[in-house]
Amino acid sequence: MKIFCGRANPTTGSVEWLEEDEHYDYHQEIARSSYADMLHDKDRNRKYYQGVRAAVGRVKARGQKALVLDIGTGTGLLSMMAVTAGADFCYAIEVFRPMADAAVKIVEKNGFSDKIKVINKHSTEVTVGPDGDMPCRANILITELFDTELIGEGALPSYEHAHRHLVQEDCEAVPHRATVYAQLVESRRMWSWNKLFPIRVQTSLGEQVIVPPSELERCPGAPSVYDIQLNQVSPSDFTILSDVLPMFSVDFSKQVSSSAACYSRQFEPLASGQAQVVLSWWDIEMDPEGKIKCTMAPFWAHSDPQELQWRDHWMQCVYFLPQEEPVVQGSALCLVAYHDDYCVWYSLQRTSPKKNGRVHPARPVCDCQAHLLWNRPRFGEINDQHRTDQYVQALRMVLNPDSVCLCVSDGSLLSMLAHYLGAEQVLTIESSEASHRLMKKIFKANHLEDKINVIVKRPELLTSTDLEGKKVSLLLGEPFFTTSLLPWHNLYFWYVRTALDQHLGPGAVVMPQAASLHAVVVEFRAKIQETEDTKLTGLNASGPFPPIVLTFCL
């Protein structure tokens, strides 16, 4: 069996599919994922163990054997917690083969092989019966299928199937319940991650304003959540318009539905302003009484900010309303949360749409193409007026009335700056048809469709005919390329500059002229000593559960 893995070539900027065989070593990719951050999350581990121990105790108190189903076991940590807490047997499900293989080795090295069976399948493929993967249904369901949005990793369909086919009707679930919270805010900074603002350009003839096309203004934006660390956002960057609202809860101990649903919460705005953004997070209660709680709340909504656990595997959510709407302090409104089987989104309404329940709401999608080409940080870059002013200042120093300017960044507005500052001819290369269509819309909205020539091809394929026989006097880039995932991928500009060397005239200026990468050596508080057999001892540091040392043999 052959496996093809996509890789962005930082030199050419293209995505290449490389053939790997079935023995491809995923261990480095796993090491660079969120597994380590998750495993070192002491608050998460402590709460999970407390919840597992309590669930095992409740089952034992009924005179039953504690049979655990652990869906998405990963390293097998939660299954080992369950056995340590007194579970009689655990079925640990892991669909990702390299991780399942690691779990088998970890379980064996830590002495739990006789009570934990690792099953390398998707949970929906697991069978129950005399000849099945499990001889009978489990009475304790343990999962950690959550992402920052709670349901983005398919938690609802997995729970739905498990309750129908894999666990008993009166099973215990750890976590027992999850609740999603939301708070309405006004934030020009966050709104700048979703909409294109008018951009002012100071020229010798006065101020020019780059305006967004009407399609961009009407577009509801990208449907996906923007997950960030709200604890790093300054309170001065947003105005709170509502209290923290509990939007909906999921009881994992009962039958779960993955059908689309909406939930409405009426509230009175705390202040007047422009409703633009919904901040959202969730907490999970590990027990039916809600005494063991793990929360993702940011510092201003946390019950004890001093005990706030820093996490990179679970953060907080920023959702953008389809359009900003004025709100008046004290005038009742309804915040509506929708979800399907994988995604959540919000709307603001004057009255409740209907009784809370199962519906099939229309999920907003981008129809302007800008949100497909530009990610949220990119919107923020383009809307940064100070950044624009710096480019204008730099361009004034190198542009001449007879300048032939070629812009080589994807979806860049620098070509418009060059035109407004007086370049004789301005061309821009758009490697993709999507960026070509978007830039055409922006040029047309600003009456520049006949002023800036868009060339749709890769830079290395540029010919003298494309340049109408002229030589480039200013090669311009931000640089930004849609294929760039890491900072050094933007050095693709270096490759482009080299490929276009034959088209540069004598004394041509290349901007930017230089780039530097900066690095700093740090020591992390939760260290993993990189040896052939790595022990994750961080789990022992303040947990109330007996020491479990994960011994990795990857």
Task: Give the number of other CB atoms < 10 A from CB of residue 136.
Answer: 12
- Report the distance separating Cα 261 and Cα 318, nearest Å: 20
Q: Are 311 and 142 in contact (CB under 8 A)?
A: no
Tokens of 96: 């990702």
- Report the distance separating Cα 449 and Cα 452, nearest Å: 6
Catalytic, out of 16, 22, 149, 153:
153
Reference 31, options 536, 403, 429; nearest CA is: 536
Q: How do strand 89-93 and strand 67-71 relate by DSSP bridges? A: parallel
DSSP letter string over 456-490? -S-GGG--TTTTTTPPEEEEE-----TT--SGGGG
**Catalytic residue list contains 217:** no
Tokens of 46: 């402590």
Catalytic, out of 16, 19, 94, 144:
144
Reference 368, options 224, 222, 189; nearest CA is: 222
DSSP letter string over 103-152? HHHHHHHTT-TTTEEEE-S-GGG--BSTTSSBSS-EEEEEE----TTSST
Tokens of 530: 């990189």
- Report the distance separating Cα 218 and Cα 349, nearest Å: 17
Cα–Cα distances (Å) from 52 to 37, 89, 293, in that order, read: 21, 13, 13
Going 179 to 185 to 190 to 192, the CA torsion angle's sign is: positive
Amino acid at 386: H
Going 127 to 130 to 135 to 137, the CA torsion angle's sign is: positive
Amino acid at 356: N
DSSP, res 363: P
Tokens of 479: 């640089």
Tokens of 188: 């020009």
Amino acid at 139: N
- Burial of 218 by CB count in 10 Å (0-12 exposed, 13-18 middle, 19+ buried)? exposed
- Give the bridge partners for 119, in sequence order: 93
**Catalytic residue list contains 153:** yes
CA 391 distance to own-chain centroid: 30
DSSP, res 289: T
- Report the distance separating Cα 210 and Cα 160, nearest Å: 50
Cα–Cα distances (Å) from 83 to 54, 94, 140, in that order, read: 13, 18, 12
Which amino acids are annotated catalytic?
Answer: 144, 153
